[in-house]
Amino acid sequence: MAFYVTENCIKCKHTDCVEVCPVDCFYEGSNFLAINPDECIDCALCEPECPIDAICSEDELPEDQQKFIKINSEGAEKWPNITQQKPPMPDAEKWDGVANKLQYLDMS
């Protein structure tokens, strides 16, 4: 089973997780990160590194976050691979924990 980036990452985009990924399966959109589920080896190293708890294993993915399985796959197909930590988005603290952020997701 793979791990997935969930809704709380939108407009936060902390990248602590990419530093610990042994297979470089993270991809970077303009305001969200995605994990390629076909590349993820389920090592779980990324999950505790996320300061906003936006990474979840497939078997623990809440019902309201199931749509992020498809979103991660689609993002990983079109966005560039990211392997090094970068600063989070400038107003990440403001967006942490905000509900209904899916409307702000930029998939371009």
Please state the domain extents for the chain. 3-79
Entry field: residues in the chain: 108
CA angle centred on 67, ends 75 and 35, rounded to 5°: 35
pTM: 0.96
Assign domain 3-79 one CATH number from 3.40.50.970, 3.30.360.10, 3.30.70.20, 3.40.350.10: 3.30.70.20
pLDDT tens for 4-55 read 999 999 999 999 999 999 999 999 999 999 999 999 999 999 999 999 999 9
Q: 12: which 2 tokens? A: 């936060």
Mean pLDDT throughout 84-104? Answer: 97
Beta strand pairing status for 26-28 and 3-5? unpaired
